Amino acid sequence: MISDNYEYVIGLEIHAQMLTRSKLFCGCSTQFGATANSQTCPVCSGFPGVLPVLNREAVNMTIRTGLAINGQVRLMSEFARKNYFYPDLPNGYQISQFELPIIEHGHVNIELTKGADKKKGGPMKRIGITRIHMEVDAGKNIHEGIVGASWVDLNRTGVPLMEIVSEPDIRTPEEAGEYLKKIRSIVRYLGACDGNMEQGSFRCDANVSIRRTGQAEFGTRAELKNLNSIRNVMRAIEYEGGRQEDLLESGGKVIQETRLWDPTKNESRSMRGKEEAHDYRYFPEPDLPPLIVTEERIEQLRAKMPELPDDKKERFREQYGLNAYDAGLLTGSQRLANYYETVAETVTKAGKSDNKIAANWVAVELLALLNKNSIDIDKSPVSAVNLGNLVALIINNTISGKIAKEVFAIMFETGEAPGKIVKEKGLEQVTDTGAIEAEVDQVLKKHAKEVEAYRDGKTKLLGFFVGQVMKATKGKASPKMVNELLRKKL
């Protein structure tokens, strides 16, 4: 954490593994979790004399991502060799893009949580994206469970990555979190990356510096690695800010370096001095021609873009009248958004529609149970149509909200339709005035003392009477009617 005397300057580099079936420059499979070294060939194993062939689909995915972040697509870009030695890099160089990346000058808008209003949402902030370039992933060194040696698994070598580099526009750990969520949501909507930070298919390095409030120049930055969740990114930035402030306040200097975050100790340690671009001896990749992309190809890809998170959120606010908070939550993933739309549609088909109640049941009740049981929305035991029908039963007063929660719990256990459960268990709300009146009379007779107290002015007792009637009817009486009848009779 930093004090008010300082502010953060943060730029994020995201490595997103693309969801192509084959690698960037060969036909090997990109499937995760296969037997070590079973998905390799002379190209991705770095044999001499072989030639890379560019994966067309990877280029398309990168262009689509570029369009989604409002970037410019270079009609001519270039691959470059980034030279360094590491055991999981059999070529001795990584094929990347350097001076002429395929995407430049993009941006996304993030919503700030600070000063946010549930209804209208938070203030928006624009974060610039310097570039997106394509490059190959490295393999994996395996140390665990091996004594006196390390093994190398080259299955990941050559898997296509997009590196998404932000401008140093981010000013707080929260903004970094929002920016990451936005990018992750976009690549997921596009089917370009699965966004899984724990498995490492969506990785983030955070560049962090601080400066005195009001100062124009940037301070020296440190680069933080090994951040495998959004929470860790935010915590690591906070820790780093505090470390830099302590250093500066005690007369020290921040040195440009790469630091490794330790999530168990909640601290970072220096890994190595920061290398400079010239250390890598970049030069244009001699085995690949410049990458030419036609305007026509870009337009074809643009025409097939799905509705993106920001647009979907706006539409949810307009079409369903949802507040900013619910609209944001429900459009967090495409599958959740589709689920909600089916619920809302089912409710409407059943007669009266109420998009807000529908939103509440998805965003609060359903998500709580799914999260608690670690179930993905795709595998929800309650189908969207069944949930829609449950909401319809509440709206048309067949069951009360309280009974609905019981029915919902059974639906979650059994996957059964709400109508069937309500019928089998006889849970229909009693709306027959005569029947409720009889129960009300019984209760008033039984509690004569409380009736007297009520009439003497202890009107708070109304709740008590309602409770007694609800208990007597096993919760099936319409609460609204119980209230009305009690007031009348008291």
Minimum CB distance to Zn ion, residue 90 (Å): 11
Minimum CB distance to ligand ADP, residue 13 (Å): 5
Rg (CA), the chain: 30
Look at residue 209 and give the partner it binds from Zn ion, ligand ADP, Mg ion, none, a contact being a CB closer than 5 to 8 Å depending on partner kind.
ligand ADP
Minimum CB distance to ligand ADP, residue 282 (Å): 11
Minimum CB distance to Zn ion, residue 158 (Å): 6
d(CA 184, CA 485): 54
CB 68 within 8 A of CB 186: yes
Of 27-35, 82-90, 176-184, 387-395, which part binds Zn ion (CB under 5 A)? Answer: 27-35
For residue 205, list its beta bridge partners.
13
Look at residue 24 and give the partner it binds from ligand ADP, Zn ion, Mg ion, none, a contact being a CB closer than 5 to 8 Å depending on partner kind.
none
Of 6-14, 126-134, 333-341, 385-393, which part binds Mg ion (CB under 5 A)? Answer: 6-14
Indicate which single residue of 14, 28, 136, 344 sits in contact with Zn ion (rule: CB under 5 A): 28
Look at residue 96 and give the partner it binds from ligand ADP, Zn ion, Mg ion, none, a contact being a CB closer than 5 to 8 Å depending on partner kind.
none
Minimum CB distance to ligand ADP, residue 85 (Å): 18
Smaller CB separation from ligand ADP, 223 or 326 = 223
* Chain residues in the site for ligand ADP (CB under 6 A): 9-13, 165-168, 207-209, 218, 221
Report CA-CA distances (Å) from 225 to 228, 237, 270: 9, 11, 10
Long-range contacts of 459-466 (CB under 8 A, 24+ apart): 462/486, 462/487, 462/490, 465/440, 465/490
Smaller CB separation from ligand ADP, 240 or 326 = 240
Q: Does 330 bind Zn ion (CB under 5 A)?
A: no
Q: Does 41 bind Zn ion (CB under 5 A)?
A: yes
What residue has token string 């932000």?
A: 166
Smaller CB separation from Zn ion, 121 or 139 = 139
Binding to Mg ion by CB under 5 A, coded x per residue (else -) over 13-42, reads: x-----------------------------
Please name the residues in contact with 410: beta carbons below 8 A apart, sequence gap of 6 or more. Answer: 416, 421
d(CA 279, CA 83): 8
Of 20-28, 192-200, 293-301, 461-469, which part binds Zn ion (CB under 5 A)? Answer: 20-28
Minimum CB distance to Mg ion, residue 205 (Å): 6
Minimum CB distance to ligand ADP, residue 354 (Å): 45
Minimum CB distance to Mg ion, residue 418 (Å): 53
CB 54 within 8 A of CB 102: no
Report CA-CA distances (Å) from 121 to 313, 357, 436: 11, 19, 44
d(CA 23, CA 77): 19
Smaller CB separation from ligand ADP, 1 or 216 = 216
Token digits for 451? 């009736």
Q: Does 26 bind Zn ion (CB under 5 A)?
A: yes
Indicate which single residue of 10, 12, 14, 44 sits in contact with Zn ion (rule: CB under 5 A): 44
Question: Helix or strand or coil: residue 311?
Answer: helix
Of 12-20, 43-51, 334-342, 355-363, which part binds Mg ion (CB under 5 A)? Answer: 12-20
Please name the residues in contact with 391: beta carbons below 8 A apart, sequence gap of 6 or more. Answer: 343, 346, 347, 354, 357, 358, 361
d(CA 472, CA 94): 74
CB 330 within 8 A of CB 362: yes
The footprint of Zn ion (CB under 5 A) covers 26, 28, 41, 43-44
